[in-house]
């Protein structure tokens, strides 16, 4: 076992961009400081916070704290923040993780070992999602079920498949691979920087390993409906290839059981229609169940989450079409669909500088 060290050369540099994260940062840092079995350092990048984020980070003498520089035109805040930290990092591996994550004991050493055993240059975990409020519990199962359909982990992890994805809440990448693809600076304008980095890595012949990892990390992404709406408005339109079509399909799947139920209640061929209702509702439930949430949350997703997911998809599509996306007090002008298609083609052909 390698002795844990927070100074000198490190096997892993953990980089946490933090903007107004006073609610989350303490728990995140304490879960990281307690890691064993690997030498590591932790760097917090204070991204122009107006709350106690910097003060909390500085209260831990083991933590290195740096400030993000001015935000360059065309960059997202997260990309700017982590780009400030990467050159100062001393690790052979870089772990980019968010301030709202909790890292289970020993997970950092196990992640490095898992990457090595699988020959991965980039290892990304989809964390266990903590949901507390009603809309968290209803919406998250639907979102993550559809993400699992859009980005199947087996295909993402298959070097012979063109599919590429990563979750920016936990993205461990070999330093030499990160530098070879240009780091976050190469995807500076990308709101979905984790997927963009994964695409660049795979296009460059780097191996990706991606999986659900409740055994390693957990997170509570949003603490109220306003945060949930703003966060998924930022992301959904670029996570899915055709958000309007997916919104329509989702609404139709949600409406179908209730339409069948109305017919059944009317008394027309009662047994047949009740059977159809149960079958259609079970199909919806099984579609959502793949997201690794409890049965109760799956039921909430089937009853209430699907129409809300459709609404958020359309809201996100409209925000991106208007090139006006807000997040944490900043407003971005995301690329148009044609710009994104051009960028994806560039990445796919390995020409990303």
DSSP β-ladder status, 217-219 and 128-129? parallel
Hey, where are the domains in the chain? 10-127+167-222, 237-348
Give one DSSP letter per residue of 122-186, joined into a string.
EEEEEPEEP--SHHHHHHHHHHHHHHHHHS-HHHHT-TTS------TTEEEEEHHHHHHTTGGGG
pTM comes to 0.89
First to last CA, the chain: 38
**pLDDT tens across the length of the chain (353 residues):** 233 444 455 799 999 999 999 999 999 999 999 999 999 999 999 999 999 999 999 999 999 999 999 999 999 999 999 999 999 999 999 999 999 999 999 999 999 999 999 999 999 999 999 999 999 999 999 999 999 999 999 999 999 999 999 999 999 999 999 999 999 999 999 999 999 999 999 999 999 999 999 999 999 999 999 999 999 999 999 999 999 999 999 999 999 888 888 877 776 666 777 777 778 888 888 889 888 899 999 999 999 999 999 999 999 999 999 999 999 999 998 865 444 444 444 344 344 33
Under CATH, which architecture does the 10-127+167-222 domain have?
Answer: Alpha-Beta Complex (3.90)
The H-assigned helical ranges of 266-330 are 270-289, 295-300, 306-321
Alpha-carbon gap, residue 200 to 353, rounded angstroms: 10
DSSP β-ladder status, 170-174 and 91-97? antiparallel
Task: Retrieve residue 24's tokens.
Answer: 């989350």
């Amino acid at each position: 076992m390698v002795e844990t060290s927070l100074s000198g050369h490190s096997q892993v540099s953990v980089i946490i961009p933090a903007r107004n994260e006073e609610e989350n940062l303490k728990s995140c840092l304490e879960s990281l400081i307690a890691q064993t079995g690997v030498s590591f350092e932790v760097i917090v990048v204070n991204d122009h916070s107006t709350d106690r984020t910097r003060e909390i980070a500085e209260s831990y003498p083991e933590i290195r704290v740096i400030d993000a520089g001015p935000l360059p035109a065309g960059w997202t805040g997260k990309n700017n923040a982590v780009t400030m930290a990467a050159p100062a990092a001393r690790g052979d591996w870089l772990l980019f993780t968010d301030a709202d994550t909790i890292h289970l004991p020993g997970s950092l050493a196990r992640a490095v070992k898992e990457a090595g055993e699988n020959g991965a240059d980039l290892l990304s975990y989809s964390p266990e999602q903590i949901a507390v409020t009603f809309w968290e519990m209803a919406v998250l199962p639907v979102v993550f079920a559809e993400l699992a359909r859009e980005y199947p982990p087996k295909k993402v992890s298959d070097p012979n498949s063109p599919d590429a994805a990563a979750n920016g809440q936990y993205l461990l990448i070999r330093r030499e691979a990160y530098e070879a693809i240009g780091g976050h600076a190469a995807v500076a304008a990308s709101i979905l920087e984790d997927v963009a980095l994964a695409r660049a890595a795979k296009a460059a012949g780097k191996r990706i390993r991606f999986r659900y990892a409740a055994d390693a990390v957990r997170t509570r992404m949003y603490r109220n409906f306003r945060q949930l709406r703003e966060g998924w408005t930022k992301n959904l339109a670029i996570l899915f290839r055709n958000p309007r079509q997916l919104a329509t399909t989702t609404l139709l799947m949600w409406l179908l059981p209730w339409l069948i139920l109305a017919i059944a209640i009317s008394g027309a061929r009662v047994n047949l229609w009740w059977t159809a209702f149960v079958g259609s509702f079970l199909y919806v439930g099984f579609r959502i169940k793949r997201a690794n949430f409890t049965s109760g949350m799956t039921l909430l997703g089937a009853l209430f989450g699907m129409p809300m997911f459709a609404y958020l998809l359309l809201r996100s599509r409209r925000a991106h079409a208007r090139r006006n996306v807000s997040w944490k007090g900043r407003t971005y002008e995301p690329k148009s669909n044609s710009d994104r298609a051009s960028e994806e083609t560039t990445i796919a052909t390995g020409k990303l500088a």
